Structure 1
Amino acid sequence: MPLFSKASRPGSALLAATLSLIALAAGCGSDDDSSQASPAGTTSTTAEVTVPISATTVQLTRPGDEPREVIQRRQAEDVMQQVRLTTGAEVFQRIDDQPVQDFSSPEITVPLTAVVTRPTDDADGATALDLTLGDVTSPDQRLGSALEATMGSGAGFTVDSTGAITALRLRPAAEAQDIARSAIEQAFYQAVYRMIAFPAEPVGVGAQWTIHQKVMSGIALDQTTVATLTARDGNRLTIDYTVDQKPQSPIWQLPGEAGTLNVDRYIMQGAGTMTVDLGLPLPVAGTVTVSGEQQYSDPDGATLLRQTTSNRVQWVS
Structure 2
Amino acid sequence: MPQLSTSGRRVPYAFAAALTLAALLTACSGSEQPPNTSSATPSEFTVPVTASTVEVLDAGSEPRQSLRMSAPVGTTQTATLITSAVVSQQIDQQPVKDFSSPEITIPLSAVVTTAASAQSPTTVVDLTLSDMSTPDATLQAALGGADGSGAGLSITESGSITALRLRPAGDSANAARAAIEQAFGQAVYRTVALPDAPVGVGARWTVKQEVSSEILLDQTTTVTLTARDGDRLTLSVEVSQTPQSSVWNLAGNAGILNIDQYVMTGSGTATVDMTLPLPVSGDMSIGGDQAYSDPDGSSVIKQSITNNIRWTQ
Where does residue 24 of structure 2 map in the other structure? 23
Change (3 A) 1:300 1:13: closer
Q: Which of residues 68, 71, 78 is equivalent to 1:72?
A: 68
Deviation at 1:51?
1.4
Q: Which residue does 2:95 correspond to in 1? A: 99
Structure 1 position 182 matched with structure 2 position 174: no
User: How does the TM-score come out when normalised to structure 2?
Assistant: 0.94
Specify whether residues 159 and 304 from structure 1 end up closer, same or farther in structure 2 by C-alpha distance, changes over 3 A only.
same
Partners of 1:83 and 1:316 within 8 A in 2: yes
Deviations along 1:227-259, one digit per CA (max 9) or x if unpaired, are: 000000011100001000010000110001110
The amino acid that maps onto 1:190 is Q
Q: Structure 1: how far apart are the matches of 2:103 and 2:32? A: 23
Determine whether 1:200 maps to 2:201. no
Call closer, same or farther: CA 1:7–1:213 in 2, change over 3 Å. farther
AA aligned to 1:164 is S
Contact 2:28 2:182 in 1 (8 A): no
Counterpart contact for 1:73–1:162, Cα < 8 Å: yes
Distance 1:273 1:13 in 2: 39
SS of aligned partner of 2:212:
strand
Q: Give the Cα separation in 1 of the matches to 2:107 and 2:120.
A: 29
**Displacement, 1:25?**
1.1
**CA displacement at 1:193 relative to structure 2:** 0.1
Task: Give how far 1:217 is off.
Answer: 2.3
Q: What corresponds to 1:121 in structure 2?
A: 117
Q: Structure 1 length as normaliser, TM-score?
A: 0.93
Coordinate RMSD, CA, aligned: 2.0
Q: Do 2:15 and 2:294's aligned partners in 1 also have CA atoms closer than 8 Å?
A: no
After superposition, where does 1:105-184 map in structure 2 within 5 Å?
105-121=101-117, 123-184=119-180
Contact 2:28–2:185, Cα closer than 8 Å, also in 1: no
Structure 1 residue matching 2:134: 3-state secondary structure = coil
**Cα pair 1:147 1:180 within 8 Å, conserved:** yes
Once the 2 structures are TM-superposed, how far is the Cα of residue 122 of structure 1 from its aligned partner? 6.2
Which string of whole-angstrom CA distances, capped at 9 and with x for unpartnered residues, describes residues 39-94 of structure 1? xxxxxx96111111000010001000000000000011010000000000001000
8 Å contact 1:31–1:54 — kept in the other structure? Answer: no
Q: Tell me the residue number matched to 2:238.
A: 242
For 2:95, the aligned partner's letter is P
Judged with a 3 Å threshold, the aligned counterparts in structure 2 of structure 1 residues 35 and 200 are, in CA distance, closer, same or farther, namely closer
* 2:15–2:293 CA contact under 8 A, matched in 1: no
- Are 2:304 and 1:308 equivalent residues in the alignment? yes
Whether the 8 Å CA contact 1:31–1:52 is kept in 2: the answer is no
- Check 1:143–1:12 CA distance in 2 against 1; reply closer, same or farther (3 A cut): farther
Q: Which moved more, 1:80-89 or 1:20-29?
A: 20-29
Map Cα deviations across residues 282-304 of structure 1 (whole Å, 9 max, x no partner): 00000100010000000000001
Structure 1 counterpart of 2:174, one-letter code: D
> What is the match of residue 211 of structure 1?
207
Q: Structure 1 pair 154/8, CA: closer, same or farther in 2 (3 Å)?
A: farther
What CA distance in whole angstroms lies between the structure 2 residues aligned with 1:129 and 1:8? 53
2:269 corresponds to: 273
- In 2, Cα distance between equivalents of 1:250 and 1:125: 37
Distance 1:196 1:110 in 2: 20
Contact 2:91 2:300 in 1 (8 A): yes
The one-letter code sitting in structure 2 at the alignment partner of 1:17 is A
Contact 1:130–1:154 (Cα < 8 Å) also in 2: yes
* C-alpha contact 1:8 1:14 (8 A) present in aligned 2: no
- The equivalent residue for 1:40 is none
Structure 2: 5+ residue stretches without partners: none
Q: Which of 228, 232, 237 is the matching residue for 1:232?
A: 228
Q: Given the alignment of the two structures, is residue 287 of structure 1 paired with residue 283 of structure 2, yes or no?
A: yes
In 1, Cα distance between equivalents of 2:193 and 2:45: 24
Please report how far the alpha carbon of residue 10 of structure 1 lies from its aligned counterpart in structure 2 after TM superposition.
4.0
- Distance between the aligned counterparts of 1:243 and 1:84, measured in 2? 22
Contact 1:46 1:173 in 2 (8 A): no
Equivalent residue pairs, number: 307
Instruction: Provide the rounded CA distance (Å) in 2 between the counterparts of 1:179 and 1:165.
Output: 25
Unaligned runs of 5+ in 1: 37-44
Q: Is this contact kept in 2: 1:93–1:103, CA < 8 A?
A: yes
- The code of the aligned residue for 2:78 comes to Q
Kept in 2, the 8 Å contact 1:31–1:215? The answer is: no
Code of the residue aligned with 1:315 in structure 2: it is: W
Q: Please state how far the C-alpha of 1:143 moved relative to its aligned partner.
A: 0.3
